[in-house]
Amino acid sequence: MRRFTVTDGVAVVTGAAGGIGAALAHGLARRGAVLVLVDRDASGLAAVAAAIRAAHPGRQVWTHQVDLADASATAALAARIIERHPRIRLLVNNAGVALGGRFGEVTLEEFSWVVDVNFRAVAQLTHALLPALRAEPGAHLVTISSLFGLVAPPGQVAYAASKFAVRGFTEALRHELATEGIGVTCVHPGGVRTRIARDARVGSGVDLVEYEAGRQRFERLLTIDPTVAAETILRGVARRRGRVLVGWSARLLDLLARIAPVGHGRLLIAAGSRAGTRRPTAERARTPVSGPRSGADPSSRR
């Protein structure tokens, strides 16, 4: 398969209002792409589009404000994109949300919200836009999984489930599309400096004092600049790599999972305990929190 280039091609990026998504949009603009940017954050999306237009006068930038948790809205978005852009060179499924809490500490509604945004929307949008990718010679598909699509730590059951699903979906799709000349890349970012820790939703049954202590520790591990992450991803896509690991944490935990597929879990449990993700005792108060917020996750705004 020939090296990928996006110049003058249409690039669709979800979760583009901040973090890795915004950095990818800027990187693609520098490479001459026609941009279709999607996010639920209208003001953030407008700011990113304005910055790109200022830096690249004449660059075509289309924006769509959509909550991908809504399947009907996602279908309508795909129809609008296809109508205006029947040929798509690049689709980057970057949008995602995070939820902290063990399985017994989150409701099924909260769990389903994460799966809807992080996996169902990815599969739905890819399915709807696949004809446009097939219509463009040399097209490419990117999905953003996560460090937690490589390992599954305690306290991240919903998020890890959704990101492992993205990983499996992408790997199977890579094999299916290989004979059609469509490249497929699955990305596993490590500690990218985004709003993940601050914007994640907290399960209704999680002890908030303990969670906040763990959140602050976790946030200190987010050291990679989103622009650096985006450039790593775009270089991998240019080379048609099937998988891109971003950061030392992703590379290290990928290696651990390969060497000790089961045994590495003990390290995750120990790390989780130090970070404050232990199961609350019966004496701890469990305070419900407000409804979902679509923010960053460990791999994107993301």
Residues classed as catalytic = 159
Rounded CA separation 52/42 (Å):
15
User: Phi-psi bin for 9: left (phi > 0), alpha (psi -120 to 50), beta?
Assistant: beta
Q: Is the distance from CB of 188 to CB of 243 less than 8 angstroms? A: yes
Distance of CA 65 to the CA centre of its chain: 17
Residue type, 161: A
Sign of dihedral through CA atoms 102, 104, 106, 109? positive
Rounded CA separation 248/21 (Å):
20
CA distances, 286 to each of 201, 216, 269, 283 (Å): 15, 19, 22, 9
Rounded CA separation 199/221 (Å):
16
Dig out the tokens for 163 from the structure.
Answer: 């990101």
Q: Is the distance from CB of 127 to CB of 283 less than 8 angstroms? A: no
Of 182, 113, 114, 108, whose CA–CA distance to 142 is shortest? 182
Rounded CA separation 204/107 (Å):
7
Dig out the tokens for 54 from the structure.
Answer: 């200022």
3-state secondary structure of 176: helix
Q: Is the distance from CB of 37 to CB of 47 less than 8 angstroms? A: no
Rounded CA separation 49/60 (Å):
10
